[in-house]
Amino acid sequence: MSRKRLRWTRSAFLLVAAAISATSAGAQRASAHPDSAHRAVFKELIELNTSPDGGQVSAASRAVARRLKAVGYAAADVQVVGPNAQCLNLVATLRGKDRNAKPVLLMAHLDVVNARRADWVHDPFVLREGEGFFYGRGSLDNKAGASVIVANMVQWKRERFVPVSDVIMVLTCDEETSATNGIQWLLKNVPRLKTAAYALNTDAGGVTVTEAGRHIFELQAAEKTYVSFELTASNPGGHSSVPRPDNAIYALAAALGRVAAHRFPVQYNEVTRTSYARGADFETGQLADDMRAAGRGETSGPAIERLLASPYQGAGLHTTCVATMLRGGHAENALPQSATATVNCRMMPGTDAEQVRQTLIGAAADTSIVVKLIYPPTPSGASPLLPEVMRVVETLSAETWAGSVVVPGMSNGATDGLYLRNVGVPVLGVAAIAMLPADERAHGLDEKVPVKSLYQSRVFWDKMVKNLMSPPAKPVS
């Protein structure tokens, strides 16, 4: 990290914060209330059907580009780019004081997963507000985040906010599918993105409201790597009226039993250790004690055994592999000539897929079974917990949700962030949307986001970016 670190003394922090809120108040009087301006951006995004079936993701990029140009962004700073007309991304730059300094990226994706109108209570592509929620496909994943960045980019231009270095908004077109035309294409074709000091991602990290009403600010700093293998047993087959002891289905089934029994070793990184240590404060009794043991980096013993026995707690401790699909045989009355299982693994950051393949071969313990990597994974390491970002996020989290604690975490799933981590750009997921776990419906039916939390996230991102990207305050004389 060569970007100059902003060193916040408490008084400098307050000074700049006061200066910022004074500017915002002035600008707000001149235009619509920031919440209604935000709502308009959000509504426009929700009502463009950017699912694979809807095909309007490029239209969404163009709509955002129009908004930015309308408030004064130069055409050269608003790029609508992609490999084809169906998948155009948006890359927009708020110019900073020092154009040679490393930029900071703000990330979201514009595409959403399909939604069947017949299955939803209301049209998923019409914004509906009720019971304190906004409903619509993408209302949480990830049009909430996209609207938060867009509304702020518009507001910052209106306020004439000039960050210390360039702030680049990156909205991608295919995060939910292959990510090849979105982030991967951008990293090849917009080389400046790879030079970023770090990226802040709206597509990960959230604020979990516990039953006791406490707030856990999850900051995503690592992702497990997704990789799948096929295990295939082959056999000459024959007539099912004359069974033999060797049988492709039995061989595969037995090998899968051994794979199921295999356990990958416990391993940690800075993110997961901190996650267990801080997360322990939100639990009680045995679980809290066990999580503290993980926080100390213990790799075995009764505490670790108890954590591994819990699917959710255990997944964060090691690489996991599980059988997810099965096919075999070709006729009801024939001995199977082949049987194949798909085994999906989630590797700990820094793990090599070939090592995992060798481990599966060893666990299967049957040399006649072929273990094949289905397609090469994209590895991604854990991002460093950048002290300047952590400090700002912790301060703002405590200010926004009294008594909240920032807990860095590793997701078991993946986002565009992994491709940036893979080229050496640290990515921190800080969606900052507060909700009860029970209200979480990303990719599901009647997806929703709390209205208050959406607006709160915009304010959080406004303060976060300004605190990180404002020039250091002059010392008080």
Question: Which residues here bind Zn ion, judged by CB under 5 A?
Answer: 141-142, 203
CB of 237 to Zn ion, least distance (A): 45
144 Cβ contact partners less than 8 Å away, ≥ 6 residues apart:
42, 138, 202, 431, 433, 449, 454, 457
CB of 134 to Zn ion, least distance (A): 16
* Nearest in space to 104 (alpha carbons), one of 458, 381, 389: 389
CB of 287 to Zn ion, least distance (A): 29
Q: Which secondary-structure segment (H or E) carries 172?
A: strand 167-172
CB of 223 to Zn ion, least distance (A): 12
CB of 109 to Zn ion, least distance (A): 6
Q: Rounded distance, CA 339 to CA 362, Å?
A: 19
Q: Which is nearer to Zn ion, 146 or 209 (CB)?
A: 146
Query: Quick one: three-class SS letters along 88-146?
Result: EEEEEEECCCECCCCCEEEEEECCCCCCCHHHCCCCCCCCEEECCEEECCCCCCCHHHH
Give Cα 166 to chain centroid, integer Å: 23
CB of 413 to Zn ion, least distance (A): 9
Q: Which is nearer to Zn ion, 102 or 143 (CB)?
A: 143
CB of 142 to Zn ion, least distance (A): 4
Tell me 373's DSSP state. E
> Tokens at residue 436, please?
């009860």
Q: Which is nearer to Zn ion, 223 or 462 (CB)?
A: 223
Question: Bridge-partner residues for 219, per DSSP?
Answer: 408
Q: Which is nearer to Zn ion, 45 or 392 (CB)?
A: 45
Asked whether 293 and 279 are in contact (CB, 8 A), the reply is no
CA count, 13 A, side-chain hemisphere, 291? 21
Q: Which is nearer to Zn ion, 142 or 411 (CB)?
A: 142
The sign of the dihedral angle between the CA atoms of 454, 459, 465, 467 is negative
Q: Which is nearer to Zn ion, 159 or 203 (CB)?
A: 203
CB of 62 to Zn ion, least distance (A): 21
Q: Which is nearer to Zn ion, 114 or 286 (CB)?
A: 114
Q: Which is nearer to Zn ion, 68 or 414 (CB)?
A: 414
Q: Which is nearer to Zn ion, 44 or 203 (CB)?
A: 203
39 Cβ contact partners less than 8 Å away, ≥ 6 residues apart:
none
* Nearest in space to 460 (alpha carbons), one of 420, 431, 422: 431
Question: Bridge-partner residues for 89, per DSSP?
Answer: 81
Q: Rounded distance, CA 283 to CA 295, Å?
A: 13
Q: Exposure of 439 by Cβ count < 10 A (0-12 exposed, 13-18 middle, 19+ buried)?
A: middle
Q: Rounded distance, CA 136 to CA 316, Å?
A: 31
CB of 141 to Zn ion, least distance (A): 4
Q: Which secondary-structure segment (H or E) carries 187?
A: helix 185-189
CB of 204 to Zn ion, least distance (A): 8
Q: Which is nearer to Zn ion, 166 or 174 (CB)?
A: 174
